[in-house]
Chains A and B, each alone.
Chain A
Amino acid sequence: MMADLHLLTVLVFFPLAGCLLMLPAWKCPAAARSLALGVMSGELLLALWLYASWQGLAALKPALPGYLLVEDAPWISAFGIRYTLGLDGLSLLMVMLTAFSFCIALAVSWRAVGEKVGLFLALLLAMETGIMGVFLALDLALFYLFWEVMLIPMFFLIGIWGHGRRIYSTVKFFLFTMFGSLLMLLAIIALHLLHARQSGVTTFGLFELIATPLPAGTQLWLFAAFFLAFAIKFPLFPLHTWLPDAHTDAPTAGSVILAGLLLKTGSYGLIRFGYPLFPQAAQTLTPLIYTLAIAGIIYASLVAFAQEDMKRLIAYSSIGHMGYVAIGIAAWEPVALSGSIIQMANHGVTTGALFAMVGMLDERAHTREIGAFGGLWGKIPLWSFFFLIFSMASVGLPGLNNFVGEFLVLAGTFTKAPLAAGLAFVGIVLTLVYMVRLVQEVVFQVERRPLPLADLDRREICVLAVLALLVVWMGVHPAPLLELIHGPVRLLTGGVP
Chain B
Amino acid sequence: MKLYLAFILLLPLMGGIFNALLGRTLPRRVGEVVACGVIWSAFACAVLAFAGFNGPVRVEFGSWLAAFEFQAPIALYLDQLSLSLTLMITFVCGLIHLYSVGYMQDDPAHARYFALLNIFVFAMLVLVLAENLPLLYLGWEGVGFCSYALIGFWYTEEQNATAGRKAFITTRIGDTAFGIAIVWMYQLSGSVSITHLNTMGTLIPAAVVTTLGLLLLAGASGKSAQLPLSVWLPDAMAGPTPVSAQIHAATMVTAGVYLLARMFPLIGGSGTVRAAIALTGGITAFYAATCACCQRDLKRILAYSTISQIGYMVLGVGAGALTGAAFHLLTHAFFKALLFLGAGCAITALHHRQDIFRMGGLRAKLPAVYWPFLAGALCLAGFPLTGGFFSKDAILAGVAAQGGPLYGGLLLLGLITAFLTSFYTFRMVFVVFHGEQKNPLPPGGGGLGRGGSDNSAANILHPPPHPLPSREGEHLELPKIMTLALVPLALLGLCGGMLNLPSYLGHQGILDGFLGSIPGFGGGEKASQGGEIVLQIVAAILSLTGLGLAWFRYTGSRRAEALAREEAGLPGAGFLLNGWRLDNLYGALIINPFKYVARFFWKQGDEAGIDGALDGLARFIARLGGLPAGWCTGRVATSLFGLAGGVCVVLAYLVWVTLP
A-B contact pairs, 26 of them (CB 8 A): A172-B614, A241-B611, A241-B614, A299-B605, A302-B594, A302-B601, A303-B602, A305-B595, A306-B599, A307-B602, A338-B68, A375-B155, A398-B138, A404-B65, A407-B65, A408-B70, A410-B183, A411-B70, A428-B175, A440-B161, A444-B161, A446-B156, A446-B158, A477-B62, A482-B66, A489-B67
Inter-chain contacts of A443 with B (CB < 8 A): 155
Q: Is the CB of B597 within 8 A of A432?
A: no
Is the C-beta of B180 less than 8 angstroms from some C-beta in chain A?
Answer: yes
Q: Which of A175, A407, A414, A483 contacts B184 (CB 8 A)?
A: A414
Question: In whole angstroms, how far apart are the Cα atoms of A415 and B69 in the complex?
Answer: 12
- Would you list which residues of chain A between 408 and 430 have a CB under 8 Å from chain B? 408, 410-412, 414-415, 418, 421-422, 425-426, 428-429
Contact B68 A398 (CB under 8 A): no
Q: Is the CB of A378 within 8 A of B165?
A: no
Q: Are the C-beta atoms of B145 and A440 separated by less than 8 Å?
A: no
Q: Out of A238, A425, A483, name the residue touching B176 (CB < 8 Å).
A: A425
B503 within 8 A of A: no
Q: Which of B589-613 contact A (CB under 8 A)?
A: 594-595, 597-599, 601-603, 605-606, 610-611
Chain B, residue nearest A406 (CB)? B179
- Check B385 for interface membership: any CB of A closer than 8 A: no
Asked whether, in the complex, the Cβ of B63 is within 8 Å of the Cβ of A411, the reply is no
**Cβ of A339 under 8 Å from chain B:** yes
Q: Are the CB atoms of A302 and B597 closer together than 8 Å? A: yes
With beta carbons under 8 angstroms apart, the residue of A303, A418, A429, A445 that contacts B601 is A303
Neighbour of A334 across the interface among B20, B67, B157, CB < 8 A: B67
- The reply to whether B598 and A302 contact each other, CB–CB distance below 8 Å, is yes
Contact yes or no, B183 A433, CB < 8 A? no
**With A335-B69, A398-B137, A478-B65: A436-B186 Cβ-Cβ less than 8 Å:** no
Docked pose: A367 CA to B402 CA in angstroms: 64
Is A486 part of the binding interface, using a Cβ–Cβ cutoff of 8 Å? yes
A433 touches B186 (CB 8 A): no
**4 new A-B contacts at CB < 8 Å, known A411-B186, A479-B63, A490-B68:** A306-B603, A375-B156, A443-B155, A445-B161
Q: Does B172 count as interface, using CB distance less than 8 angstroms?
A: yes
Chain A residues within 8 Å of B142, by CB: 397-399
Is B152 close to A, CB under 8 A?
yes
B residues contacting A by CB (< 8 A) are: 20, 24, 62-70, 134, 137-138, 141-142, 145, 148-149, 152, 155-158, 161-162, 165, 168-169, 172-173, 175-176, 179-180, 182-184, 186-187, 594-595, 597-599, 601-603, 605-606, 610-611, 614, 618
Contact indicator per residue, chain A 280-313, by CB within 8 Å of chain B (1) or not (0): 0000000000000000000100110111000000
- Please, how many angstroms separate the alpha-carbon atoms of A177 and B67 in the complex? 33
A437 within 8 A of B: yes
CA distance A479 to B184 in the complex (A): 23
Determine if A429 and B606 form an interchain contact, defined as CB atoms under 8 angstroms apart: no
* Cross-interface CB contact of A436 among B63, B69, B148, cutoff 8 Å: B148
Q: Considering the complex, give the chain A residue whose CB is closest to the CB of B179.
A: A425
Complex interface: chain B residues within 8 A of A172 (CB): 614
If A241-B614, A305-B598, A399-B142 touch, does A335 touch B67 (CB 8 Å cutoff)? yes
Residue among B145, B148, B186, B598 making CB contact with A414, cutoff 8 Å: B186
When the two chains form the complex, which single residue of B134, B176, B603, B618 contacts A426, counting CB atoms closer than 8 Å?
B176
Contact residues of B: prevailing secondary structure: helix
Question: Contacts A303-B598, A335-B70 known; A397 to B183 CB distance under 8 Å?
Answer: no
CA distance A404 to B70 in the complex (A): 12
User: Do B156 and A378 touch (CB < 8 A)?
Assistant: yes
**Interface SS of chain A:** helix
Which residues on A are within 8 Å of B, measured CB to CB? Answer: 172, 175, 238, 241, 244, 299, 302-303, 305-307, 334-335, 338-339, 375, 377-378, 381, 385, 388, 392, 397-399, 403-404, 407-408, 410-412, 414-415, 418, 421-422, 425-426, 428-429, 432-433, 436-437, 440, 443-446, 476-479, 482-483, 486, 489-490
What's the nearest-Cβ distance from chain A to residue B159, in Å? 10
Chain A residues near B62: list those with CB within 8 A.
Answer: 477, 479
In angstroms, Cα B184 to Cα A415, docked, is: 8
A339 to B157 alpha-carbon distance, docked (Å): 40
Give the chain A neighbours of B162 by CB distance below 8 A.
440
Q: Who on chain A is nearest to B148 by CB?
A: A436
Q: Which residues of B contact A378 (CB under 8 A)?
A: 156
Q: Which of B152, B165, B179, B611 has the most CB of A within 10 A?
A: B179
Question: Cβ of A486: which chain B residues have Cβ within 8 Å of it?
Answer: 67-68
Q: Which residues of A contact B68 (CB under 8 A)?
A: 334-335, 338, 486, 489-490
**Nearest CB to that of B159 among chain A residues?**
A445
Q: A335-B70, A377-B155, A426-B176 are in contact. Are A408 and B65 (CB under 8 A)?
A: yes
Q: Which residues of B contact A478 (CB under 8 A)?
A: 64-65
- State how many angstroms separate the Cβ of B191 from the closest Cβ of chain A: 11
Assembly CA distance A81 to B611 (angstroms): 39
Residues of A within 8 A of B65 (CB): 404, 407-408, 478, 482
CB distance from B181 to the nearest CB of A (A): 10
Query: Which of B67, B152, B180, B603 has the largest count of A CB atoms less than 10 A from its CB?
Result: B67
